């Protein structure tokens, strides 16, 4: 098949996308497909028109590529593509939308309050902060509704830290989430659709090295975090985490593959869902490939599977 690999773009996760795409291109090549690499920009529709690919592999992360924009465009130009459709992308890319959907469906997610920039600028939302702080207790996690890779996430240990954290989150998005902090273990469950429907892959635990426990951005720097797969957990926790990931995948309407991030509370043993990523990283240090490998699915087989699913969904 002729496969257009969509990569890059101008999101903050451009570099991760380029690394994911390089690995995907390599795998597609080894699988015998013809690869057309497209760094997405204003000429995307023209480039797709010229290349006339059989299918597009969307190796984009963040705004534009993961939020339904590119997916909607691919639907319009009639090119089958990998991963979730526009509606699931929109739901997952916006943590406010995703968390409301999860809560409504009875999937546990840490308690939260969300605000738009307009609420602060036009409705005096700052005056409501003490009420929120009282309900969530310190520390509080402040994050932009969009973005990923822990960009813009801040940890507020006292009321004095909250305004600064909110301002920082607003530099990434026009909506912020104030969320209850979960002291516990950081788990990721990838979901991949097999012949019998979505399956949860072995769990990856992210274990931070050193002292920077609350510097979330540092966790993503190579070497600062150790990834253990399969995570060492009691059987019932493993089962429950995988069930929650599948439930999240279903509630948010994902297709093909996704990665669900969860927290396991040290004190209560409770599992909560932080978010779902519709286009998980596919770099050589990413969690989905690691989990697939642990399930006996090599990188090429993973890419082949995701591509097959894209073609299977395509309208005749």
Ligand X SMILES: Nc1ncnc2c1ncn2[C@@H]1O[C@H](COP(=O)(O)OP(=O)(O)O)[C@@H](O)[C@H]1O
User: Which residues of this chain interact with Mg ion, rule CB under 5 A?
Assistant: 261
Secondary structure of residue 250 in the 3-state scheme? helix
**Residue nearest to Mg ion according to CB distances in the complex:** 261
Whether 220 sits among the annotated catalytic residues: the reply is yes
Site for ligand X in 56-95 (CB under 6 A): none
CB of 153 to Mg ion, least distance (A): 9
Catalytic residue, candidates 62, 85, 148, 281 = 281
CB of 89 to Mg ion, least distance (A): 15
Distance, in Å, from the CA atom of 280 to the CA atom of 292, rounded to the nearest integer, reads 12
Contact with ligand X (CB under 6 A) among 11, 17, 20, 149:
149
141 binds ligand X (CB under 6 A): yes
Prior bond of 3 cis (ω within 30°):
no
For every residue of 87-107, which 3-state class applies, written as one string? HHHHHHHCHHHHHHHHHHCCC
153 binds ligand X (CB under 6 A): yes
**Cβ contacts of 235 within 8 Å, gap of 6 or more:** none
Contact with ligand X (CB under 6 A) among 260, 275, 280, 281:
275
CB of 150 to Mg ion, least distance (A): 7
Distance, in Å, from the CA atom of 14 to the CA atom of 109, rounded to the nearest integer, reads 28
* C-beta of 84 vs 149, nearer to ligand X: 149
Helix (H) or strand (E) holding 185: strand 184-194
Best CA proximity match to 59, nearest among 91, 27, 92: 27
Cβ atoms of residues 238 and 229 within 8 Å? no
274 binds ligand X (CB under 6 A): yes
Best CA proximity match to 20, nearest among 34, 7, 3: 7
Task: For residue 54, give both structure tokens.
Answer: 């059989």
Site for ligand X in 172-211 (CB under 6 A): 179-182, 186
Catalytic residue, candidates 148, 259, 286, 305 = 259
Whether 277 sits among the annotated catalytic residues: the reply is yes
Catalytic residue, candidates 39, 161, 220, 313 = 220
Residue with token string 């691919």: 74
Catalytic residue, candidates 13, 173, 193, 205 = 13
Distance, in Å, from the CA atom of 298 to the CA atom of 259, rounded to the nearest integer, reads 17
Whether 298 sits among the annotated catalytic residues: the reply is no
List the x/- string, 108-127, binding to ligand X by CB under 6 A: --x-----------------
Cβ atoms of residues 69 and 17 within 8 Å? no
CB of 216 to ligand X, least distance (A): 4
> Which parts of this chain interact with ligand X (CB under 6 A)?
110, 141, 148-150, 153, 179-182, 186, 216, 261, 263, 274-275
Catalytic site positions:
13, 149, 220, 259, 261, 275, 277, 281
């Amino acid at each position: 098949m002729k496969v257009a690999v969509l990569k890059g773009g101008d999101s903050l996760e451009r570099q991760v996308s380029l690394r994911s795409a390089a690995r995907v291109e390599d795998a597609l090549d080894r699988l015998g497909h013809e690869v057309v690499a497209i760094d997405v920009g204003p000429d995307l529709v023209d480039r797709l028109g010229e290349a006339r690919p059989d299918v597009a592999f969307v190796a984009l992360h963040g705004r534009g590529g993961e939020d339904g924009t590119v997916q909607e465009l691919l639907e319009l130009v009639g090119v089958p593509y990998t991963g979730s459709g526009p509606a699931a992308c929109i739901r997952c890319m916006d943590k406010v939308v995703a968390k409301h959907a999860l809560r409504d469906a009875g999937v546990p997610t840490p308690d939260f309050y969300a605000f738009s920039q307009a609420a602060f600028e036009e409705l005096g939302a700052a005056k409501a902060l003490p009420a929120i702080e009282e309900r969530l207790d310190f520390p509080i996690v402040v994050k932009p509704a969009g973005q990923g890779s822990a960009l813009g996430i801040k940890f507020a240990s006292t009321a004095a830290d909250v305004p600064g954290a909110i301002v920082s989150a607003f530099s990434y998005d026009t909506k912020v989430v104030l969320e209850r902090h979960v002291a516990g273990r950081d788990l990721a469950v990838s979901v991949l659709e097999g012949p019998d429907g979505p399956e949860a892959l072995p769990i990856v635990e992210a274990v931070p090295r050193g002292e920077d426990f609350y510097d979330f951005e540092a966790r993503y720097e190579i070497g600062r975090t150790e990834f253990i797969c399969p995570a060492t957990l009691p059987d019932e926790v493993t089962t429950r985490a995988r069930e929650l990931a599948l439930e999240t995948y279903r509630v948010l309407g994902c297709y093909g593959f996704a990665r669900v991030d969860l927290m396991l509370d040290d004190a209560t043993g409770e599992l909560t869902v932080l978010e779902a990523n519709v286009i998980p990283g596919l770099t050589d240090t990413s969690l989905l490939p690691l989990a697939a490998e642990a399930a006996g699915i090599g990188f090429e087989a993973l890419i082949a599977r995701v591509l097959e699913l894209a073609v299977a969904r395509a309208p005749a």
